[in-house]
Structure 1
Amino acid sequence: MKIAVRLDDITPDMDWQRFFRFKALLDQYQVKPLIGVVPDNRDENLRGSSESRKDAPADFYAYIRGLQEEGWSVALHGMNHVYSTKKGGLFPLNDFSEYAGKPYEEQKEMIARGKQILEEHGVRTDLFMAPAHSYDRNTLRALKENGFQALTDGFGEQPYLWQGLTFYPISFRLSDTLKKKKGYSTMVVHTGTIQEEELAGYEKRFQAEGVTWISYEEYRKVPAVKRGFPGRIREYLMARAKFLLVRLHH
């Protein structure tokens, strides 16, 4: 199994101490991940304490550009990361969204503004990471209109094409994904909530036999296959099932 890594919720005011501790693991195992940058964060839950931000880079976007130069990938991770609708959209892992349920023109403007902010700071990307994994058909249409070509979401064992975009699947259940012998997937990590004791667990995953950890750039070079209606229905039901299982667990 070949697995890439994505890090959500990258902002200037995040918990940088936790981020750097996880980055040390990535550097140790030579894994170049995808990072989802929020261009105008207004989600209080993503903000770290003043103590956790004391080692933050003096110039956030210069740091992000430096990571890109080192081989890290960047995705636009929403606009404000504020959930303003109660829609799960086409991939209902959650029942809230920053995008799903909003009119097309509003979504188009949000995506255009987020892209503009990144580009004003010298960060270019054609990859989108939906906050809460939630998006709808208007989101996909607005992404294409703004020049985006791909999303980091969906389930499956290789990239797939749908609605004129390429989807790079994430893991349905990482423990099962690590046991598979073939295919590709993504491990999703939220560094802002990682506890110290969890780092040892992540290190064991990086050491797992039969797993090849790949850069996200390598993942993006894997040929994509077309996905039809049956595949989309199966994915939707899997996402909804995971949503219900998580809710029951909590």
Structure 2
Amino acid sequence: MKILIRMDDIAPGMDMGKFRRFKRLLDEYNIRPLIGVVPDNRDPKLMVEADEPESKQKKGTDEEADSEENPYFWRMVRDLQSEGWIIAMHGLHHVYTTKKGGMLPLNKQSEFAGIPYEKQLEMVTEGKKILESHGIATDFFMAPSHSYDRNTITALVEKGFRRVTDGFGRDAYRRFDMTFYPISYRKDSALTDDHEGYTTFVVHTNTLTNEDFNYYSKVFETGKVVSWNEWLMTDPVEAGEFQGIKEYLLARIKYILVHKRW
């Protein structure tokens, strides 16, 4: 099994030191990940650093600096996209407003699941508009806490999104007019799985420790980690009849195991 890297919680104020350190590791092995960019972050937990120094923000033209908030951050995202990194819209504000797990209940909190369709459509529309205002176009969606429902999918399709980074399995699969790119159920199992297929390791750089960096260095040394453009060039399969039921049950089991609520 081949492995892809997905980096969550990319937003102004994130821990840029850890982000740059992980990027150097990725660059060393020529790996291009998928990153989830929050269009308008309002989650204080993601704001772990002060804004970039004014001297860095003014590296572009004065017109660039005046045209957008956090210009250094957004210029960095555009540069990463031009390098071949894949950008996903990571929710809207990254603020949890319901206690719903949605279709993939790995958590009991959501920015989207449980909210009426019309409101979700407004949220998706706003997020897409914000990214486009910064010169970033994408048809990839990444739900905060992996929590989304059918209304989310319908709203995404309505606004031109065609791909979601979530689900379980060894292949990208088609469901509800959307292509899903699965995440790993257990990282250790994925590393020893010799079957053909792909899976995604979810990385939150804000919370990485030295031990985590050493772990990923060893993972990259295996040669099993590839760039996203390889997976995106493969044809997705049609989801099986029981795909939704299987994913829901697997997610519930993982939630129970992680939180030890028997």
TM-score by length of 2: 0.90
Greater Rg by CA? 2
> Would you say 1:160 and 2:186 are equivalent positions?
no
**Cα offset for 1:197?**
2.5
1:106 paired residue number: 119
Compared with structure 1, are the counterparts of its residues 27 and 56 closer, same or farther at alpha carbon in structure 2 (3 Å cutoff)?
Answer: farther
Any residues of structure 2 matched to 1:44-193 within 5 Å, and which?
A: 44-50=44-50, 58=57, 59-181=72-194, 182-193=196-207
DSSP 3-state at the match of 1:32:
coil
Mind listing any 5+ residue stretches in structure 2 that lack a counterpart? 58-71
DSSP 3-state at the match of 2:174:
strand
> Would you say 1:240 and 2:252 are equivalent positions?
yes
**Cα offset for 1:207?**
1.2
Query: Please, what is the CA RMSD of the aligned residues?
Result: 1.7
Once residues 102 and 80 of structure 1 are traced to their aligned partners in structure 2, the CA distance between those partners, rounded to angstroms, is 15
Supply the AA of the counterpart residue of 1:191: T
Percent sequence identity is 51
Once residues 84 and 56 of structure 2 are traced to their aligned partners in structure 1, the CA distance between those partners, rounded to angstroms, is 19
1:7 paired residue number: 7
> Would you say 1:201 and 2:215 are equivalent positions?
yes
Once residues 56 and 93 of structure 1 are traced to their aligned partners in structure 2, the CA distance between those partners, rounded to angstroms, is 42
DSSP 3-state at the match of 1:213:
coil
1:18 paired residue number: 18
Mind listing any 5+ residue stretches in structure 1 that lack a counterpart? none
Could you tell me whether the CA contact under 8 Å between 2:219 and 2:225 is conserved in 1?
A: no
1:226 paired residue number: 238
**Cα offset for 1:127?**
0.3
Once residues 228 and 180 of structure 1 are traced to their aligned partners in structure 2, the CA distance between those partners, rounded to angstroms, is 21
DSSP 3-state at the match of 1:4:
strand
DSSP 3-state at the match of 2:260:
helix
Once residues 143 and 231 of structure 1 are traced to their aligned partners in structure 2, the CA distance between those partners, rounded to angstroms, is 20
1:38 paired residue number: 38
**Number of equivalenced pairs:** 246
Once residues 133 and 80 of structure 2 are traced to their aligned partners in structure 1, the CA distance between those partners, rounded to angstroms, is 17
